Amino acid sequence: MKPKVYIASKVPNEVKAYLEEHCDCEMWQGEEAITGAQLAERLTEAEGLLVSGNAISNRLLDSAPKLRVVSNVSVGYNNNDLDAMRSRGIIGTHTPYVLDDTVADLTLALMLASARRVTELHNLVRSGGWQRGMGEGLFGVDVHHAKLGIIGMGRIGEAIVKRAKFGFDMDVAYYNRNRKPDAEERFGLRYLQMDELLAQSDFVVLMTPLTPETKRMIGAEQFRLMKPGAIFINVSRGDTVDEAALIEALQNGTIRAAGLDVYEMEPVSPENPLLKLDNVVTLPHIGSATAQTRSNMAMVAARNLVDALYGREPQYVIPELKA
């Protein structure tokens, strides 16, 4: 008998075929993403779950008495209740590595778009507002040779450093809970304490997982420490930032601009003041969203799931859940 699994997010055909070969699969067929309540109703018999973005709460697990494996189609697992999973002996997996370059590309896109005002000026041209002699009204700031400060130096951080250093000749510093002497040597990186990094950087990129320690790590005090010309980029998780403080910093000119892929509430409400500001570039949480990378992530997640269900060590167990 094949193990029963519930596939809660859309996966490409070859991933579906692989899962069906090894598991007895049920799949979410809805057009919209599955809600927590809909998911809870479908987990009574499931031994495995493939999921993207849904909260794996203690309550959800109460409705999944046979569940042995949760396979996340994401590198981030901040919405998994790790204690609840651990206490039930549930294996949790995620998808690191395959998305590093794709997320790093998007980070550079946000840096470039914010510095050169790409979306704002795109809207100006589209709305017929481009006139002769606008001159400095169209000016932005340079990315090349500027100072970049990265908060969080993991795999994606390193992929950003490569692009920034070798593509744009940027002067790159980083802050991380643990120093990374190896990355410092390979890339000529400077290590700075957080406050120093905030004070020195032209671009501050937040690239850290969301944990109890990083929750709202950037707030009013941190924005005050940044240069008035600083550009803030967040491609990690919305809850790493105090969004009200960010809005205020952007409105008051405490910082120059922001490029955002993530928010406190997703999808962002149309009422969110961030959407009314010309100095903000907003994207809908698409850091890893290329067809190729999402397909690779789904395949890694499927392999993790099948390996765990068949008693093999999955390649990417959530580090905090490793025995």
Residues assigned a catalytic role? 237, 266, 285
Q: Cis link prior to 284 (omega < 30° from 0)?
A: no
Q: Any bridge partners for residue 269, and if so which?
A: none
CB of 103 to ligand 8YV, least distance (A): 7
CB of 53 to ligand 8YV, least distance (A): 3
Q: Which two tokens stand for residue 305?
A: 């799931």
Q: Which two tokens stand for residue 139?
A: 């000016």
In this complex, which beta carbon is closest to ligand 8YV, that of residue 101 or of residue 202?
101
CB of 48 to ligand 8YV, least distance (A): 18
Query: CA quadruple 264, 269, 273, 278: dihedral positive or negative?
Result: positive
In this complex, which beta carbon is closest to ligand 8YV, that of residue 31 or of residue 136?
31
Q: What is the C-alpha to C-alpha distance for residues 285 and 257, in angstroms, rounded to an integer?
A: 18
Taking CA atoms, 281 is separated from 31, 34, 64, 234, in Å, by 28, 28, 40, 11
In this complex, which beta carbon is closest to ligand 8YV, that of residue 85 or of residue 189?
85
In this complex, which beta carbon is closest to ligand 8YV, that of residue 99 or of residue 255?
99
CB of 97 to ligand 8YV, least distance (A): 11
CB of 8 to ligand 8YV, least distance (A): 11
> Is 296 in contact with 304 (CB distance < 8 Å)?
no
Residue owning tokens 């093999």? 312
> Is 26 in contact with 4 (CB distance < 8 Å)?
yes
CB of 192 to ligand 8YV, least distance (A): 26
* Contacts with ligand 8YV, residue ranges (CB under 6 A): 52-53, 74-76, 99, 287-288
In this complex, which beta carbon is closest to ligand 8YV, that of residue 98 or of residue 115?
98
Residue nearest to ligand 8YV (CB): 53
In this complex, which beta carbon is closest to ligand 8YV, that of residue 74 or of residue 254?
74
Phi, psi of 166 (to 5 degrees): -90, -25
Q: Which two tokens stand for residue 176?
A: 């991380």
- Residue among 95, 192, 97 at smallest CA distance from 154: 97
CA angle 166–96–322, rounded 5-degree value = 135
Taking CA atoms, 159 is separated from 104, 167, 183, 282, in Å, by 6, 12, 11, 22
